[in-house]
Amino acid sequence: MRLFRRRRPQLPTVSLEEALKMIPVKNPNTESTTTASGEMSVRLRMPRPRGVLQRLLPVPEFRTFILDKVGGFVWENIDGERNVREIANLLVRSFKMTREEAEISLLRYLQMLSTRGLIYLRVEMNREEDQRLNQRG
């Protein structure tokens, strides 16, 4: 019996169709540059600990991630407007991939970027839902 075991919250399951409609958005605390070797370097500003922890724990100001050619291509096409399906279509056209390979690989990659705090996924609303919400507020 584990008394102090931390329970992970249950995340809602999302269908493949719903996941492909989501819009990836870059974390505003990131900045990116292209390295001399053609890779993409993405820096994420780390939150500063407060109080006593600030003095005791040396926390770096940034965490850096290096993305390969395909990862850099995906990063450059995350603009807050394109949904996952549109980015997957760009991958199919730019790299020799099937649509299924591009969609599944892209979803796994976006999940990894999200876990690391580089992006978040926004649910795309159709125009009717958006108008209905705007009329309420």
Closest by alpha carbon to 80, among 123, 18, 131, 126? 123
Instruction: Report the CATH fold assignment for 16-122.
Output: Outer Surface Protein A; domain 3 (3.90.930)
- Sequence length of the chain is 137
Give the residue extent of every domain in the chain: 16-122
Helix (H) / strand (E) containing 119 = strand 119-122
CA angle 98, 104, 107 (to 5 degrees): 135
pLDDT digits (tens, 9 = 90+) for 91-122: 999 998 999 999 999 999 999 999 999 999 99
> What global pTM score does this model have?
0.77
pLDDT digits (tens, 9 = 90+) for 30-73: 999 998 888 999 999 988 767 676 667 777 889 999 999 999 99
What CA–CA distances, in Å, run from 113 to 3, 25, 119, 133?
32, 11, 6, 29
